[in-house]
Amino acid sequence: MTRNRPRIGLYTLAIIASVISFLPIIWLILTSIKTTAGIYAWPPQYLPAPVTFQNYIDIFTKSPELLLYVLNSLIVGLGTTIVSLSLGGMAGYALSRLGMRRAGVLMVFILAVSMFPPVSLLPSLFQTFLNLGLLNTYTGLIIAHTGLFLPFSVWMLASYFATLPKEIEEAARMDGMGFFRIFWSIVIPLSWPGFVATGLIVFIHSWNEFPLALVLMTQNAMRTAPVGISLYPGEYAFPWETISTATVIAIVPILVITAIFQKQIVGGLTAGTGK
């Protein structure tokens, strides 16, 4: 009995936290199935009446570029994730395991770099990308996003590697594996919950990133979902029905991926508590 009491408290907190974080999404979904009149109704309409899917039909017929935005986001998100995991994995491994001198100092330095507000880098980044012809290219935004999220990846993966029993890698060394082979055939297979968790967080952040995507992708056809959706033109008012519908469509991939890897994310974030 007494042991259950704190549990009830925890569950209540968890439920409150979930409801609070889900409210905007629920509101968004509800808005997307309201009529325009319903959206602007006063007093506000909480539940849509009538329910309509016209907004979804409209968006695919009137603004087909939404699919393009989503595709751009997918390409940039996946590219950023792959590059961040590759570089972050190798750097994290070197920093946590190969007995580098001053590894701790380097780790703090890496973290310090990520404290620069990205917006302050924008003018020089824009000029550089312009000179290099990287504006409006996937490569360009992938590089920019990797720069943004690599420190996080290095830290996450380095701390994950640090939880692996060192002796396994030592046994591999005695068996005759080199460092790269140990990393590839021992460390990566044993660390995939860490890679999944890190990769997913990087993907989501890249997907949602706004300032760099706005400035470095100036052509409409290259815009990512958040930028494209926010720039939907409205004549006299914000086209709330279009924006909310498009946003719902844009978060679907993330929700699906998160649902699939939910277990690994939790496992990766709480690394070290298990074997």
Partner 1 sequence: MTEVKLERIGKSYGAVEAVQEFDLTIEDGEFLVLLGPSGCGKSTTLRMIAGLESITTGDLTISGTRMNDVDPKDRGVAMVFQNYALYPHKTVFDNMAMALKLQKVPVEEIRDRVGRTAEMLGLTEYLERKPAALSGGQRQRVAIGRAIVRTPKVFLFDEPLSNLDAKLRVKMRMELQELHDSLGVTSIYVTHDQIEAMTLADRIVIMNGGVVAQVGSPREVYDSPADEFVAGFIGSPSMNFIDLRRGAGGGWSSTEGGLRFESLPFSLGDRSEIRLGIRPEHVVITPHAETGANGGSFEAEVRLAELLGADALLNLDIEGCRLTARVGGTGHSRAGDRVQATLPTPLLHAFDIPTGKALPRLVS
Q: Which residues 6+ apart lie within 8 Å of 96 measured at CB? A: 103, 158, 159, 161, 162
Q: Is 122 in the site for partner 1 (CB under 8 A)?
A: no
Give whole-number Cα distances, 44 to 22, 25, 51, 87, 196, in Å.
19, 17, 15, 49, 41
Strands (E) located in the chain = none
- Residue whose entry in the numeric block shows the structure tokens 């990512």: 224
**Residue from 106, 173, 232, 261 binding partner 1 (CB under 8 A):** 173
Q: Is 170 in the site for partner 1 (CB under 8 A)?
A: yes
Stretch that binds partner 1, among 18-26, 63-71, 175-183, 225-233 (CB under 8 A): 175-183
Q: Is 121 in the site for partner 1 (CB under 8 A)?
A: no
Q: Is 186 in the site for partner 1 (CB under 8 A)?
A: yes
Stretch that binds partner 1, among 69-77, 108-116, 124-132, 160-168 (CB under 8 A): 160-168
Q: Is 165 in the site for partner 1 (CB under 8 A)?
A: yes
- Give percent helix, percent strand, percent coil of the chain, each to the nearest 5: 75, 0, 25
Q: Is 168 in the site for partner 1 (CB under 8 A)?
A: yes
DSSP string for 203-214: HHHHHH--HHHH
Query: Could you tell me the smallest distance in angstroms from the CB atom of residue 171 to partner 1?
Result: 4
Q: Is 176 in the site for partner 1 (CB under 8 A)?
A: yes
**Residue from 28, 82, 122, 190 binding partner 1 (CB under 8 A):** 190
Stretch that binds partner 1, among 57-65, 162-170, 193-201, 236-244 (CB under 8 A): 162-170
Neighbours of 228 (CB within 10 A): 25
**Residue from 175, 218, 220, 266 binding partner 1 (CB under 8 A):** 175
Query: Could you tell me the smallest distance in angstroms from the CB atom of residue 110 to partner 1?
Result: 24
Stretch that binds partner 1, among 18-26, 125-133, 167-175, 238-246 (CB under 8 A): 167-175
Sign of CA dihedral 56, 57, 62, 66: positive
Which amino acid appears at position 22 of this protein?
A: F
Give whole-number Cα distances, 169 to 87, 138, 155, 173, 177, in Å.
20, 37, 20, 6, 9
CA dihedral (53, 59, 61, 63) in degrees, to 10, reads 170
- How many residues form the binding site for partner 1 (CB under 8 A)? 14
Q: Is 64 in the site for partner 1 (CB under 8 A)?
A: no
Tell me whether residue 167 or residue 235 sits nearer to partner 1 (CB atom): 167
Separation CA 190–CA 163 (nearest Å): 10
Stretch that binds partner 1, among 20-28, 163-171, 207-215, 220-228 (CB under 8 A): 163-171
Residues of this chain that bind partner 1 (CB under 8 A): 165, 167-168, 170-177, 186, 189-190
